[in-house]
Chains A and B, each alone.
Chain A
Amino acid sequence: MSPTTGAPSRVEIKKTYKLYIGGKFPRSESGRSYEVYAGGGTSGAFLANAAQGSRKDARDAVVAARKAVDGWAGTTAYNRGQVLYRVAEVMEGRRAQFVAEVRASEGVGERQAEALVGQAIDRWVWYAGWSDKYAQVLGGLNPVAGPYFDISAPEPTGVVAVLAPQASSLLGLVSVLAPVVVSGNTAVVLSSEHRPLPAITLSEALATSDVPGGVVNIITGRTAEVAPWLASHRDVNAIDLSGAAGAEGVAWGDLEKAAADNLKRVVRPAGTGPEAVEPDWTATPDLSRLSAFLETKTVWHPKGR
Chain B
Amino acid sequence: MAKFEYAPAPESRAVVNLKPSYGLFIGGEFTESEGGSAFKSISPSSEEVLAEVTEASSADVDRAVDAARRAFTGTWGRMSGADRGKYLFRIARILQERAREFAVLESLDNGKPIRESRDVDVPLAAAHFFYHAGWADKLEYASLGPNPRPHGVVGQVIPWNFPLLMLAWKIAPALAAGNTVVLKPAETTPLTALLFAEVCQQADLPAGVVNIVTGAGATGQAIVDHPGIDKLAFTGSTGVGKMIARAIAGTRKKATLELGGKAANIIFDDAPIDQAVEGIVNGIFFNQGHVCCAGSRLLVQESIAEEVEARLKRRLSTLRVGDPLDKNTDVGAINSKAQLQRITELTAAGEAEGATRWSPECELPSKGFWFRPTVFTGVSQTHRIAQEEIFGPVLSVLTFRTPHEAVAKANNTPYGLSAGVWTEKGSRILWMADQLRAGVVWANTFNKFDPTSPFGGYKESGYGREGGRHGLEAYVTTGDTK
* Contact between B439 and A296, CB atoms less than 8 A apart: yes
A287–B143 Cα gap in the complex (Å)? 10
Residue of B nearest to A157 (CB): B458
Knowing A145-B127, A152-B470, A301-B444, the reply to whether A254 touches B242 (Cβ < 8 A) is no
Cα distance, A297 to B442, chains bound together (Å): 11
CB of A148 to closest CB in B, whole Å: 6
- Range of interface residues on chain A? 35 or more
- Of A140, A150, A252, which one neighbours B250 at CB under 8 angstroms? A252
**Given contacts A261-B242, A263-B257, is CB(A272)–CB(B252) below 8 Å?**
yes
Given contacts A146-B450, A272-B252, A273-B252, contact A295 B242 (CB under 8 A): no
B450 touches A144 (CB 8 A): yes
Most chain A beta-carbon contacts within 10 A, residue among B249, B252, B465, B468: B249
Once the chains bind, are B440 and A263 in contact (CB under 8 Å)?
no
B459–A298 CB distance below 8 A: no
For residue B443, CB closer than 8 A to chain A, the reply is yes
State the Cβ distance, A210 to closest chain B Cβ, in Å.
23
Instruction: Report whether B459 and A263 are in contact in the complex, using a CB–CB cutoff of 8 Å.
Output: yes
Smallest distance from the beta carbon of B123 to chain A beta carbons, Å?
9
CB of B241 closer than 8 Å to a CB of A: yes
Residues of B within 8 A of A251 (CB): 250
CB distance from A237 to the nearest CB of B (A): 7
Encode contact with A along B293-333: 1 for CB under 8 Å, 0 otherwise.
00000000000000000000000000000000000000000
A263→B245 contact, CB < 8 A:
yes
Does the CB pair B460–A300 fall under 8 Å?
A: no
Within 8 A of A (CB), among B440-476: 440-445, 448, 450, 452-456, 458-460, 462-463, 465, 468-470
CA gap between A262 and B259 in the complex, in Å: 12
Which chain B residues border A288 with CB–CB below 8 Å? 145, 478-479
CB of A302, distance to nearest CB on chain B (Å): 5
Measured in the bound complex, the distance between the Cα atoms of B255 and A268 in whole Å is: 12
**In the complex, chain B residues whose CB is within 8 Å of the CB of A262:** 414, 459-460
Please give me the residue from chain A that is nearest to B480 by CB atom. A283
Binding site for A on B (CB under 8 A): 127, 143, 145-146, 238, 241-242, 245-246, 249-252, 257, 259, 414, 429, 433, 438-445, 448, 450, 452-456, 458-460, 462-463, 465, 468-470, 478-479, 482
Which 7 pairs across A and B sit closest by C-beta, in order of nearness?
A: A253-B250, A260-B245, A256-B249, A144-B450, A257-B249, A142-B453, A301-B443
A interface vs B, CB < 8 Å? 137-138, 140, 142-146, 148, 150, 152, 157, 237, 251-254, 256-257, 259-263, 265, 268, 272-274, 286-288, 295-302
20 more contacts with CB within 8 A, not counting A263-B242, A263-B463, A274-B251, are A142-B453, A142-B454, A144-B450, A145-B127, A152-B454, A251-B250, A253-B249, A254-B249, A257-B249, A260-B246, A260-B249, A263-B245, A272-B252, A272-B482, A286-B479, A288-B145, A297-B439, A298-B441, A299-B443, A301-B444
5 A-B pairs (CB sep. < 8 Å): A145-B452, A148-B445, A259-B245, A259-B249, A288-B145
